[in-house]
Amino acid sequence: MTDERHSSPDGPDGPGGSGSSSGAAASGDLGYIRDVLARTEARIDPHAFHFVMWGTLVLVCYPLLNWFELMHRPRWMLSIGVGGLVLGSVLSCVFEIRLARCPRLSGENTFVGRQVEQIVWLNVGMGVLFSAIGPASGLIPHQAVQLVWGFAYANMAYMVGVVYRIEYLVAGLAIAVGTLAAWFVPPYRGFILGPFMGLGMIIPGVMAERRVARLRE
């Protein structure tokens, strides 16, 4: 339809200059669309408290696990490992239930929010699967389970960075570097992975939480 009009003898800039005013109106509407998108697309709550909480647990627990491993205290290792897992799971559930009852952000961009959610579940699922099947099948040594989680966290942060914010992408790369470094220094895996994974989740998580707080205002 439009092509027929454009091929008319008058053309888009025909008599009366209707083409240029149409062009200005079209540019105005495109500008309005861009403005609405800019205002609304950034309204995302990625539930970053999960990143902060799990990052803190990893930052504390991994070096402690490594320490007790070096001290040959398997019971302490088991207590810290299981305790951290249970504590993290319970807190995640409690926070999520609270948020489901009272969402923090109105008019949220649910497309990106859901993408972040799917990425997190995919990577956590892969982490659980490989850390369970790997040692049981003998493909992954028991001591290397932390590396599985290192790569799962790195991939998760990187993918979240692709759809959400660049700081997650940078964090994902940093966690990947830390995980590779830990691979080559088996006795000190926990000491290396703890800070890389922990801070790699805490820093972008805190930044996202602050952004959500600003959007609420």
Q: Which residues would be at the binding site for other proteins (CB under 8 A)?
A: 1-2, 5-6, 12-13, 18-30, 32-33, 36-37, 39-41, 43, 106-112, 114
Task: Give backbone dihedrals phi and psi of 103, rounded to 5 degrees, phi first.
Answer: -60, 145
Q: How far is the CB of 186 from other proteins (least distance, A)?
A: 46
Q: Which residue has the tokens 């951290």?
A: 84
Q: Which is nearer to other proteins, 42 or 129 (CB)?
A: 42
CB-wise, 22 or 89, nearer to other proteins? 22
Q: How far is the CB of 33 from other proteins (least distance, A)?
A: 5
| CB of 51 vs other proteins, minimal distance in Å | 22
* CB proximity list for 66: less than 8 A, separation 6 or greater: 188, 189, 190, 191, 194
Q: Which is nearer to other proteins, 111 or 121 (CB)?
A: 111
Instruction: Give the separation between CA 103 and CA 92, rounded to whole angstroms.
Output: 15
Tell me how far, at minimum, the Cβ of 21 lies from other proteins, in Å. Answer: 5
What DSSP element (H or E) covers 155?
helix 145-163
- Residue 44, judged by CB atoms within 10 A of its CB (0-12, 13-18, 19+), counts as buried
The answer for residues whose C-beta is within 8 angstroms of residue 169's C-beta and 6 or more apart is: 157, 158, 160, 161, 162
Q: Is the CB of 12 or the CB of 88 nearer to other proteins? A: 12
165 DSSP assignment: -
Phi/psi at 127 (nearest 5 deg)? -60, -45
Q: How far is the CB of 107 from other proteins (least distance, A)?
A: 3
Q: Rounded to an integer, what distance in angstroms lies between the CA atom of residue 151 and that of residue 121?
A: 14
Name which of 18 and 143 has its Cβ closer to other proteins.
18
* Least distance CB 110 / other proteins (angstroms): 4
Nearer of residues 32 and 121 to other proteins, judged by Cβ: 32
